[in-house]
Structure 1
Amino acid sequence: MSTLTSDDAVAVPRPTVEPPAPWDFPPAGTHDLPNGLRLLTYDVPGQYVLSVRLGVPVPLDSEPRDREGVGTIMARTLDEGTEHHTAEEFQSLLERKGIGYGAGVSDSGLSIDLDVVKGTLEPALDLLRQVLTEPAFPAVEVARHVRSRLAEIEHERSVGAARAMLAFVDTFYADDERISRPTGGSAATVGAVTRDDVVAHHGAHVTASGSTIVVAGDLDGLDVPALVEAALGGWRSGPARGRHVERTTRYAADRAHIVLVDRPGAVQSDFVVGAPGPDRSAPGGWAPYPALAFVLGGSPTARVDAVLREEKGYTYGARSVFRPRRGGGSFLTYGSVRADVTAESVGLLVDILEGASGGFTDEEVRMGVDFISKTAPGRYATADAIADEAVSMALDGRTTEFTTSNLHDLATVTSERVDAAWARFASGAGIGTGSRGAGWTIVVVGDASAHAEQVEALGLGPVTVVRD
């Protein structure tokens, strides 16, 4: 028997790694029911836990001003019993069928989520029908959820990051904009909510017209349109409406200043720095903006963390993001830093952000583009991620064809396009108009006695101290 020696080895050429092919979001089947409900189906072979998502375009400002938060209470009590089942019986039915259920309200509308084993889709849809068409809203359960929400409000105000965001939206948006106030309402408005308010809100707004239901997963052998029509075809149509909430975002005339929320003795300071941003219909395309946010504050290697975390050691991390709404949006950078470096960190952060006007390198833009575009197949590999994206797009007045086209466009984004996107954003927000800090809304939650003078000395604009 012979043995091979190094002289006998055959040189094997190194394989060539080709760039991945463009990726498309899975195609949707579309079925419109006579009552105005739209069904979107996504067949994902091998995923036997189906994800069902329902989006109802109920605008937040449909809530009475003195009952804000009623939509949140309604969403949380939909499954607390129906005409034919007590709250305990309904929960037992969900458990017996292995159905995961959730509901909530956002700026885009009411969302209901079901995750269900393929074989029990039909009974799951019937339970969905019950919460939509015949919820009982027991007074005792409404009162319990009101108490829970009041406790939640207290908790939100005690957590620095949440308190910073509350102060930010209050400062950033015009006073008569519903988004300037908490989605779930304030203590005064939630405390006034009664069962009658919940019943009235449900009856007026939770209707089929303009709503979208998404079913994603392994649909082989299922007639999903027939199952959905059998369960929800009798859902009341209600007044005609679009599948998304039309709006124009209005910002406070005096939004560009610093708010310091006093937190005596705080050992860290939480911050939000933001300005008006684009929506997905932005001139020049939406694709450059996620890449731009990634380069500035989307990873530990981004510009913000490179200084505040890696070089200075002031933070565990800060993040930047463009948040589009149906009309307009915002650009935010948020995080927390050690208390003793609060003022210095705010100054450094503003300088980093405003330094973006100097342009971006091809290398950093390519890193951002590659990360977002090449991780997309993994991000949307599961039925729940597909369903979440589909209902989110529907509530924004779009389809997942936008997701595909935007990813294709993203692959073509260059540093020149990112520079142009920043220039458009900065011009619209009034950033870089001559004075350092111009155009930014800055909120800091920390010890005012320790930081107020130092923050004011930064020269970034007037400082307002808020004491809870």
Structure 2
Amino acid sequence: MKKVLAVGLAVSLAACQNNYLSGDMPAHPVLPQGVNLIEEVKRQGDEIVIPYKKYQLANGLTVIIHEDKSDPLAHVDVTYHVGSAREQIGNSGFAHFFEHMMFQGSENVRDEEHFKIVSESGGTLNGTTNTDRTNYFQTVPVNQLEKMLWLEADRMGFLLDAVTQEKFEVQRETVKNERGQRIDNRPYGRLSETMSAALYPEGHPYSWPVIGYTEDLNRVDVNDLKKFFLRWYGPNNATLTIGGAVDPIKTMTLVNKYFGSIPRGPEVIDAKKPSVTLNEDRYVSFEDNVTLPLVFMTFPTVHARHEDEPALDILAEILGGGKTSILYKNLVKNGLAVESQVYHRCQELACTFNMLALPNPAAGKSLADLESVIRASFSEFEQRGVREDDLLKVKAKLESSAIFGLQSVEGKVSQLAFFETFAGTPNYIGKNIKRYNDVTKEDVVRAYNQYLKNKHAVIVSVVPKGQPDAVANADNFSIPQRNIPERIQVKMSDLDTRRAIDSFDRSKQPIADANPLVNVPAYWETQLSNGIKVLGSQSQETPTTSILIKIQGGHFAEPVDKAGLANLTADLLNESTTARTNEDMSLELQKLGSDVRIYARDEKINILVSSLSKNLDETLALVEEKLVKPAFNDIDFNRLKSQIIQGIQHARKDANALANEAWSKLLYGDSIAGIPATGSVDSVSKLTVADVRDFYNNYVKPQDAELIVVSDLPQSEINKSLNRLTSWTGKGKSFNRTFKPVSFDPQSVYIVNKDKAAQSVIRIGKPSLKRDFTGEFYKADLMNFNLGGAFNSRINLNLREDKGYTYGARSQFRASKNSGHYQVGASVRADATDKSFIEFEKELRAYRNHGMTNEELEFMRKAVGQRDARSYETPNQKLRFLGNILEYDLPANFTQKQAEIIQNTSLAELNSLAEKYLDIDTMAKLVVGDVESLKPQFEELGYKVEVIDLDK
């Protein structure tokens, strides 16, 4: 479970009037009969709070409403207090499975219609499952609110009759594909479930993975799932949270209409919190397809919202929270490890204190050596103690992350839902922050002594295949065989079904009123004396400032033999300066609650700055120091260089990383565009500090750089603050930004070998259009929407929903100002690689030859045309929007032009673009997977097969 912390803010919000409710409302609206207002929380002074009203329906459904008039949006979240911890032995994965089933249609929503309805409403949606809860959420233009309530109510009260064995079988395959993609085919993917099985005794609710075991899903049928649903998914075990430009009384009238008649489910009591104790250290290990071994150590501690949770969180920061921590100093800074982490993970029933490290091969240290260093770091903490800065930086981090978390209506709604579900009240935010502010040095030391000192842990070693002796210590614990009880067949007659009785026709989908008026962010332009072009916008929702600086110099500016240089230079700009050590710089930023991240892209080096506005000047002073006074010292250089090399080698074990590398090479050959931005082991190994200095001197210059800023501060104050950057001067060298694609054989399938891969990665495509915002690229993107640009696209419905070959399939035009390409692809079941390829081919040919239908055209127009309401909500969204205006020199009204294109471009014109750009006979075909099994399959399909060796 991710811990969510929040701070309520006082902001002056402009009123936004929207007629979003259908039907006549009384002149003086009152709450419907059976709906009770439980509490109303307002902001009275400077207290920390998110205002809300909390209601309860007669059937036990808790409803929370937060008014936020800043944007014409509504966010709807339904959180069920059920996760994998509510499952039984042998029935793992049920909660996650229902996360899938709840999108497959209900009694009044046809198959595959849920995604389509939300998409054509201009909305976005998703669902997540963890050990303790499942939530479903949508963000839509506010005029679509009633439709979202209708959808959520239909799957809460009218799902089971639409859940068929056929749907069950398809989604079972989808879940298997998800497990293959996220766990079985990913390096270290089985670490978490191995740790949990070793730490928790059999039958403990956390002893199995959230996604479940495949054999459990294989042994059950649809009635088992229905029984689980009827037990846990009633309104009395759910919280409906709504935020946005809504009226509480009108909204509650709709909520009662759609949810009020749904019968209560069985009563639910809080789960027990069984304690876990270890009488000795448990060493377990497994071999994996990895380059570097890993040691993971976990100690059982408390449970979420326990009085010692904040102290343990702060202890984790001291031991391993960033560059000022003990483990960073003892493992990473001195080059013993390429990575170390410490974190205290809290869930409803139990928390764990976790530590991990990956050794640096250059240091010659084993996992046993790293474990010794970790244990010695405990002793160092005992000598060092807790410092005042330790508390200050955690509290500053808490404040800033909380405030930044309130920049979207989704952020506020999700926090209200979280605290209602797990703390019993949405008004827990202030108390939660106070828990951390009240922690003393003595509390942290006491927590260490009670939960870590001389306590036993589970130590998991993950070692490369064929290296069983690389473990930290010989295994002394075996994960017990699962004791699966005999399955009892569930019959339809065994199901305690519940039916709602309505006084209206629930089968009629609500009709939304006109789209709300969406205002494009107002902005201003200027230029600093050192040549930086500035585009800014004021956003007064939170007292924060976000800045993106884009410097003209990146991966494409490198010589081929020095590939990875821009990436390494950017990484070093995040390190020490001549005035401050790495640790001192990190500490200063942490105490401000600010974040500064410098990273390289193909044509740019970007600097992303997030700061509380009250700390902007101090933050920009540190940014200036990074840009003007980089140290580029040997210690930082050697450490980062070693980490990058290990990262490159690690990527060779990941199928998607292999596909990305091979795809670039296939399209652009040996040019710099055909080489990963991180470089190769060979190119990075040859880089020197002098190379980094030269690149910095040649390219990291302000002339013609672009700076986009979104802040609650007025332009005059922002300009004063930005003047701190004018000591940075100079103009960078020009470099080539366009590359001629190399020739490939469209009659060949190019394969990158990944032995015994659980899944294969397929890519089909070719170089294509450069990016534009109102031209042919934009129109081609609209053309592709129904083929592979949405969940309900032809490709995804075919390969995921109909065939069960993949967790998700997409197609897209990907482009920058200077180049672009089109690609279709997915990660698919290894045993369905050739079948998936055939389906891709069929879909591309059919779409090119026959185009989209009139119905698809209307779906695209609604889905794309109504999403502007959620395009400029957060500062980061505004940064992207303004960044495009600056980089592409767009007129202020370009979104109006886009709206006209969406509504007026004809079916014939879009279909002509499909014919022009979707010829699969001219496209490259790439597959990453087990070449031994794949080669004869594609030869049988009539393709030549060429194996790509990425080391050549």
* Same fold at TM > 0.5: yes
| Structure of greater relative contact order (alpha carbons < 8 Å, 6+ residues apart) | 1
Distance (whole Å) between structure 1 residues aligned to residue 706 and residue 821 of structure 2: 26
Distance (whole Å) between structure 2 residues aligned to residue 162 and residue 292 of structure 1: 28
- Secondary structure class of the residue paired with 1:377: helix
Structure 1 residues 127 and 255, CA gap change in structure 2 (3 angstroms)? farther
Q: Say whether residues 1:215 and 2:697 are aligned partners.
A: no
Contact 1:25 1:404 in 2 (8 A): no
Distance (whole Å) between structure 2 residues aligned to residue 401 and residue 92 of structure 1: 43
Structure 1 residues 234 and 221, CA gap change in structure 2 (3 angstroms)? closer
Find the partner of 1:232 among 717, 725, 731: 725
Structure 1 residues 240 and 305, CA gap change in structure 2 (3 angstroms)? closer
- CA deviation string 1:134-160 (max 9, x = no partner): 111221111111111111111221111
Aligned to 1:190: 684
- Structure (1 or 2) with the larger CA radius of gyration: 2
Aligned to 2:738: 248
Alignment root-mean-square deviation, CA: 2.5
Contact 1:284 1:421 in 2 (8 A): no
Contiguous gaps of at least 5 residues in structure 2:
1-508
Distance (whole Å) between structure 1 residues aligned to residue 562 and residue 893 of structure 2: 38
**Shift of residue 203, structure 1, vs aligned partner:** 1.0
- CA deviation string 1:8-65 (max 9, x = no partner): xxxxxx9974332564531321001232111111111213221110001214332132
Structure 1 residues 399 and 240, CA gap change in structure 2 (3 angstroms)? farther
Structure 1 residues 103 and 59, CA gap change in structure 2 (3 angstroms)? closer
Pairing of 1:65-464 with structure 2 (within 5 A): 65-176=560-671, 178-220=672-714, 223-229=717-723, 231-239=724-732, 247-254=737-744, 256=746, 257-281=748-772, 284-357=775-848, 358-392=850-884, 394-396=886-888, 398=890, 402=894, 405-426=897-918, 431=919, 437-459=920-942, 461-464=943-946
Distance (whole Å) between structure 1 residues aligned to residue 693 and residue 657 of structure 2: 30
- Secondary structure class of the residue paired with 1:193: coil
Contact 1:161 1:271 in 2 (8 A): no
Report the more deviating stretch, 15-24 or 369-378.
Answer: 15-24
Structure 1 residues 416 and 21, CA gap change in structure 2 (3 angstroms)? farther
Give the letter for the 2:726 counterpart: G
Distance (whole Å) between structure 2 residues aligned to residue 125 and residue 268 of structure 1: 46
Aligned to 1:10: none
Contact 2:556 2:737 in 1 (8 A): no
Pairing of 1:39-58 with structure 2 (within 5 A): 39-58=534-553
**Shift of residue 251, structure 1, vs aligned partner:** 1.2
**Shift of residue 116, structure 1, vs aligned partner:** 0.6
**Shift of residue 210, structure 1, vs aligned partner:** 0.8
Give the letter for the 1:316 counterpart: Y
Structure 1 residues 82 and 274, CA gap change in structure 2 (3 angstroms)? same
**Shift of residue 350, structure 1, vs aligned partner:** 1.5
Distance (whole Å) between structure 1 residues aligned to residue 595 and residue 536 of structure 2: 19
Distance (whole Å) between structure 2 residues aligned to residue 15 and residue 182 of structure 1: 49
Report the more deviating stretch, 288-297 or 84-93.
Answer: 288-297
Structure 1 residues 128 and 20, CA gap change in structure 2 (3 angstroms)? same
- Secondary structure class of the residue paired with 1:250: coil
Structure 1 residues 155 and 371, CA gap change in structure 2 (3 angstroms)? farther
Contact 1:172 1:255 in 2 (8 A): no
**Shift of residue 189, structure 1, vs aligned partner:** 0.7
Contact 2:557 2:603 in 1 (8 A): no
Contiguous gaps of at least 5 residues in structure 1:
1-13, 432-436
- Secondary structure class of the residue paired with 1:316: strand
Aligned length: 441
**Shift of residue 409, structure 1, vs aligned partner:** 2.9
Contact 1:246 1:327 in 2 (8 A): no
Structure 1 residues 315 and 49, CA gap change in structure 2 (3 angstroms)? same
Aligned to 1:4: none
Distance (whole Å) between structure 2 residues aligned to residue 254 and residue 457 of structure 1: 21
Distance (whole Å) between structure 2 residues aligned to residue 57 and residue 402 of structure 1: 25
Distance (whole Å) between structure 1 residues aligned to residue 660 and residue 801 of structure 2: 25
Identity within the alignment, %: 24
Structure 1 residues 163 and 240, CA gap change in structure 2 (3 angstroms)? closer
- Secondary structure class of the residue paired with 2:550: strand
- Secondary structure class of the residue paired with 2:811: strand
Give the letter for the 1:251 counterpart: P
Structure 1 residues 255 and 452, CA gap change in structure 2 (3 angstroms)? same
